[in-house]
Chains A and B, each alone.
Chain A
Amino acid sequence: MNEQALSGVQVLDCTRGIAGSYCTKLLADFGAEVIKVEDPNGGDPLRNMEPFLKDEPHSEKSGAFFYLNTNKKSITLNLRSETGVKIFKELVKDADVLVESFPPETMRELSLDYEILSALNPQLIMTSISGFGQTGQYRNYKASNLVLSGLGGTMYTSRPANEPKKRPVVQGGFQGEHIAGLESLIATVAALFNRIHTNRGTWIDVSSMECVASTLTGYTGEYSNLGLSRKTSPLPIQGYPGLCNYRCKDGWINPTPGLGAASNIAFLIEKPEMQDDPLLANTAARITAPEKVDALLLPWCMKHDKWTITKKAQELRLCFTPILSPKELIEDEQLKARDFFNTVGHPFMGEVTYPGALAKLSDTPPVAGKEPRLGENNHEIYEKLGYVSEDLVKLQETGVI
């Protein structure tokens, strides 16, 4: 295998759930050796998360688990047993990074807190991902993606621009968890970089609620300078046409004009005489009369396909873009030209295609790889620690691995 950006970095992954798995998946995709440490009794609960191949619930056929665990290794180890803890400490001695997402206090209860582990390995970087952080009055609260999105402040403005009284709706998928995973990656790699000169380990406390709130950053000044708490998107306020997404002949289109190009809407909708109409030429006019913009633009959009509209608009320097469904991504010409999706073979699932790299690095392109079966790497990893086959049988019988 080619040298990758994080080749040689050893990661122990004790996470369960999306945030932690996403963080370590990205480490693995960029070349780190990630060993997922799973409970012998069923492993990571993500193994039972849909979608499953052909909708058949099976712990080795989860698409969610696949996507969130590409390029990792898996071992089983019961951290609730004394022997398990002892073996885990041996693993920690050789690790560069440990990522865990237990509720705060759990690692302490297992005698695996940072103080103990850093005494064994002073250069250890330990990343603890939790809903609300290791300190503060909510630290023992129960989190979920929905709960984090509400408390992190992103959900309150998640309403259609013309319906500010509507029930807020959470973003699709599991954004709260992915945000925490991505920020944990940034913090962890920054600590790894720092360690090259300082030889110092560190304990990183990631609060998912704060991670969600940090995605609001650019807008937080609306309260501290104006006293505003918006209930909807900011775009209509800034003079974008109407209500954000328009229906068109074959789906939906986003009609953002972009800086200084709004007059060109006149040419898009074949009414060149309207080029100097204040409604198009003047942002302030649009802000005060979104319904007039809708009345002008929507009927034309309804008669055309999203890609026809998009391509014509783009030629006029208008930032119109289509709303695409996940399935449409598969045939997308740009994603194809960039080889975005990866395909690898899998013993139970056959050929599996999945969304590829977070970013393209010219010198160290990421390598596609499948996710591990539960305990797939037990022999390899434990034999490196000096355990022989008979030991492993015994450990298996006693439920340690």
Chain B
Amino acid sequence: MGYRILEGVRILDLTMVFAGPMSSRILADLGAEVIKIESAVRPDVMTRTNVYPENKLGEEPWNRGFTYHTINAGKKGITLNLGSEEGRKLFRRLVEISDAVMENFSPRVMENWGLGYEELRRIKPDIIMVSMSGLGHYGPLRDFYMYMPGMEGMSGLAHLTGFPQDPPLLSGHAYGDWVLGAAGAAALLIALYHRQRTGRGQYVDVAGREAVICQIGELVMDCFLNNREPSRVGNYHSSVAPHGCYRCKGSDEWINIAIENDEQWRNLCQVMDNPEWTRDERFTNAVSRWENRGELDGKVEEWTQRYNHYELMRILQDVGVPSGAVLSMKELHLDPHISQRGFFEVIDHGKGIGKRPIAKQMPAKFSDVEEFVPRRAPRFGQDNEEVFCNLLGMSKEELERLEEANVIGGTFTFVRGKPTRIDLIEKQGSCSVDPDYLSELSKHYGDDIGSM
């Protein structure tokens, strides 16, 4: 009882923005000690200046951006300028007492600092170094500038997403970044297991685009086996119907129904009260249903529009029909099953933010392992003293000297960030706004949500 899966594992985390921090948060969720390294010159600016509580910048806005708080929970935070010789010297000392280094700079950065893998392993022979990038650390296109759209677009995933008549579609949630981060965490753990058995460290090169291709491997096989180009099929399945997303009664409410076999089809018919059209020969067997799937969808949707999505999901699941409401961000937070299993954990994010639920980045549950709520994401340079004085044995005077020399901490000019243009998004109709979100969350997660 009371142990953590990655207890005792120390990771130096140089990653920024999305993919890398999501990756190291997976490891922090599993109990690793993750030391996030920023500097006044290179702060993790994008996520720090996004999504402010109640859309107000407040004091120290760079410490309040909630995207940062979500994907950096459970980590320690230090500021160390690797652009300075003294900063790199301190980094080397940290490498000596760490198990792994993670980074997602563009391929030349670590080498230029003299902190490439060959150099790191001279400092600590069994170090594991994980580099996460869009297209990988070698090859003719390795220096491409790219983010999530490059990983999803250049892998074939965007080409395969959308309705046939529509343009290729990117995810609405930086999916490519998640895939790269998850692949990085998996590879790091595999290397760590190997090191523990053999004493050997290694260098891990993770390309986001390649990891996304692995997620669509089955479809890519069609190119090799049949020289065929798979295409966008909307919500259709390749052999069964009805299989789609159907409109429900409420505004922008949808339900997915995915019939797999005749038995489920019969159960669906029964719930629909066996309307006349279900006996039409176009719909009586699996093959004809699939052939006439467009028309079938129209018939099914006439029926689904009489119900709310949650109500209909319960009716259908009660008779064993695979179906599920299409949940919005609000509905996901308030979903009874999600909250029953503790997927969102309430953390006190401190002054200026207060208590708010954040989602787990590694939701698997381990029996007999301590369930712990991660501590809030670190304020800028919060753990300098702990790491430099307690771990490296530096004196407080020395720390102060290095702060004055801008090696640690230092003065910085953050982009102040801007409030989210909710007005504009609302005008575009591209979101719904719930003004009562704090009280809605309080009903599920405790009545002091958001109080600072």
Contact = CB atoms under 8 A, between A and B. Distances in A.
Contact of B225 (A54, A114, A284, A337): A54
Given A202-B368, A203-B366, A287-B421, A363 B194 contact: yes
B315 interface: no
Contacts of A271: none
A218 B22 contact: yes
Contacts of A144: 258, 260, 322
B5 A191 contact: yes
Given A190-B189, A217-B361, A231 B422 contact: no
A345 to B, nearest CB: 14
Contacts of B329: 153, 156, 216, 219-220, 222-223, 228-230
6 contacts: A64-B218, A171-B171, A183-B364, A214-B361, A217-B22, A326-B219
Nearest to A352: B224
B147 A256 contact: yes
Contacts of A261: 145
Interface string B15-33: 0001000100110001000
Interface stretch (A84-92, A158-166, A392-400): A158-166
B119 to A, nearest CB: 14
Contacts of A211: 363
Contacts of B116: none
B87 interface: no
A397 B287 CA distance: 35
Interface in B376-424: 418, 420-422, 424
Contacts of A322: 153-154
Contacts of A288: 424
Interface in B230-278: 230, 232-235, 237-239, 243-245, 247, 252, 254-256, 258, 260
Size range of the interface on B? Answer: 35 or more
A225 B54 contact: yes
Interface in A1-47: 3, 5-6, 8, 18, 26, 30
Contacts of B434: 223, 227-229
A323 B153 contact: yes
B50 to A, nearest CB: 8
A196 B197 contact: yes
A228 B431 contact: yes
Contact of A254 (B150, B186, B326): B150
Nearest to A243: B167
B174 to A, nearest CB: 6
Main SS class of interface, B:
mixed
Contacts of A3: 198
Interface string B419-439: 011101100111111111100
B109 interface: no
Q: Which 9 A-B pairs have the closest CB atoms?
A: A157-B172, A172-B160, A63-B221, A221-B66, A359-B187, A227-B437, A363-B202, A321-B150, A210-B363
B175 A171 contact: yes
Contact of A213 (B154, B174, B343, B431): B343
Nearest to A27: B190
B19 to A, nearest CB: 10
Contact of A154 (B139, B150, B170, B173): B173
B24 to A, nearest CB: 12
B373 to A, nearest CB: 15
A5 B51 contact: no
A22 to B, nearest CB: 8
Contacts of A220: 70, 329, 332-333, 344, 358-359
B369 interface: yes
B441 A224 contact: yes
Interface in A163-177: 164-165, 167-175
B185 interface: yes
A320 B401 CA distance: 44
A332 B167 CA distance: 22
Interface string A329-350: 1101111011010000000010
A51 B228 contact: yes
A258 B145 contact: yes
B83 to A, nearest CB: 18
A381 interface: no
B229 interface: yes
A237 B425 contact: yes
Contacts of B326: 150-151, 155-156, 168
Given A68-B217, A171-B157, A172-B157, A228 B170 contact: no
With a 10 A CB-CB cut-off, give which of A172, A178, A189, A244 has the most chain B CB atoms: A172
A388 interface: no
A295 interface: no
Interface stretch (B34-42, B205-213, B288-296): B205-213
Interface string A109-138: 000001000000000000000001101111
Contact of A354 (B221, B234, B344): B221
B320 interface: yes
A380 to B, nearest CB: 24
B367 A203 contact: yes
A211 B178 CA distance: 11
A309 interface: no
